[in-house]
């Protein structure tokens, strides 16, 4: 049984606690608002920590030094240099570090990527991602694009060779609400990521498509709805399937710890996303194409 500490506060912690009865081989034994409280007062009561919300480098280093496996949000505000140092510490301590917030384990996307691994689509040639959200949602800065970059890098299994990104304010506010990223890979593959925060209030929209040398696949986030008639206007009722991806992430983390293996989304994936995010940010700021080297970026 994996004993888990939840670190954070608010609705997100409540959501994780509500999902835990669906996770096999694990239980929450500690809930605290800070990593310091866990390490100081509850270090013997947990085997691993789930960091809910932003994870700082100091929090992660403290927990790793205490021998705790980590589930860390993919978009935590750390640069590639900090992540590299943390990964070295994890290797020395034999710590399992997995990323939360990835879309890879969403049911529709999981099936798409299984098709890629099985060779059913051939070699990937083009990936397109659209993620449109409502006005007032989180900033479209390079940090916010981590989920999309993770999907793309997982398809091509490499960092891009070239990155070009533009960000604009469509609604005329000072906050950028539109972002488009072009990624070019060795061998001619490419990806286009399109993000907008200008939709009216309501549900956002996400779609993912990949064209390979032997086939193509498409997935989106259209909610599964059941049409219900209750004597008045028909209603579309959600099925609760939106939690399936996060449940799969929690289960994968606990399984990787118990089986002493690497998780599906590793610290190395986090480092790759951070490097690509930094290239996106550099391109936005400079207005130029950025050519990536293995360890960082060089201006074109």
Give the pLDDT score at 296: 46
> What's the N-to-C CA distance of the chain in angstroms?
51
Q: From CA 228, how far away is CA 230, in angstroms rounded?
A: 6
On whether the CB atoms of residues 141 and 205 are closer than 8 A, the answer is no
Q: Which residue has the tokens 């990536």?
A: 292
Is this model's pTM higher than 0.95 or not? no
On whether the CB atoms of residues 127 and 210 are closer than 8 A, the answer is yes
Burial class (CB in 10 A: 0-12, 13-18, 19+), 138: exposed
Three-state secondary-structure class, residue 262: coil
Q: From CA 41, how far away is CA 25, in angstroms rounded?
A: 24
Side-by-side strand order, sheet with 26-32: 26-32, 2-7, 48-51, 69-73, 97-100
Give the pLDDT score at 299: 41
- Of 11, 19, 10, 91, nearest to 254 (Cα)? 19
- How distant is the alpha carbon of residue 193 from its chain centre? 15
What angle, rounded to 10 degrees, do the helices at 267-286 and 80-93 form? 170
Q: Which tokens in the block code for residue 85?
A: 């140092």
Three-state secondary-structure class, residue 211: strand
Q: Which tokens in the block code for residue 90?
A: 């994890």
Q: Which residue segments constitute the domains of the chain, with CATH numbers given? A: 2-95 (3.40.50.720), 107-237+274-299 (3.30.360.10)
- Of 293, 297, 266, nearest to 165 (Cα)? 297
Q: Mean pLDDT per 10-residue run, the chain (300 residues)?
A: 94 91 95 94 96 91 97 92 97 96 86 86 95 67 80 95 90 75 95 88 85 92 67 68 86 97 95 95 94 59
Q: How many CB atoms lie within 10 A of CB 208?
A: 24
Give the pLDDT score at 283: 95
């Amino acid at each position: 049984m994996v004993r888990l500490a939840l670190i954070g506060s608010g609705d997100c912690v409540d959501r994780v606690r509500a999902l835990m009865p669906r996770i096999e081989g694990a239980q929450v034994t500690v809930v605290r608002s800070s990593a310091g409280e866990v390490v100081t007062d509850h270090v013997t009561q947990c085997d691993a920590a789930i960091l809910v919300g932003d994870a700082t480098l100091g929090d992660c280093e403290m927990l790793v030094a205490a021998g705790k496996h980590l589930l860390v949000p993919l978009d935590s505000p750390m640069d590639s240099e900090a992540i590299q140092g943390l990964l070295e510490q994890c290797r020395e301590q034999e710590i399992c570090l997995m990323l939360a917030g990835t879309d890879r384990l969403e049911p529709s996307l999981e099936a798409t990527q299984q098709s890629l691994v099985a060779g059913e689509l051939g070699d990937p040639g083009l990936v397109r991602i659209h993620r449109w959200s409502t006005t007032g949602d989180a900033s479209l800065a390079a940090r916010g694009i981590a989920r999309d970059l993770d999907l793309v890098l997982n398809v091509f299994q490499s960092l891009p060779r070239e990155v070009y990104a533009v960000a604009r304010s469509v609604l005329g506010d000072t906050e950028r609400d539109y972002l488009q990223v072009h990624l070019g890979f060795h061998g001619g593959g490419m990806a286009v990521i399109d993000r907008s925060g200008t939709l009216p209030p309501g549900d956002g929209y996400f779609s993912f498509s990949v064209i390979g040398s032997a086939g193509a696949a498409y997935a989106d986030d259209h909610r599964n709805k059941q049409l219900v008639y209750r004597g008045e206007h028909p209603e579309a009722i959600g099925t609760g399937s939106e939690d399936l991806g996060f449940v799969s992430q929690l289960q994968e983390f606990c399984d990787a710890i118990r089986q002493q293996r690497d998780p599906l989304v590793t610290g190395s994936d986090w480092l790759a996303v951070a490097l690509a995010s930094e290239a996106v940010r550099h391109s936005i700021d400079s207005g130029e194409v950025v050519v990536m080297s293995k360890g960082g970026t060089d201006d074109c």
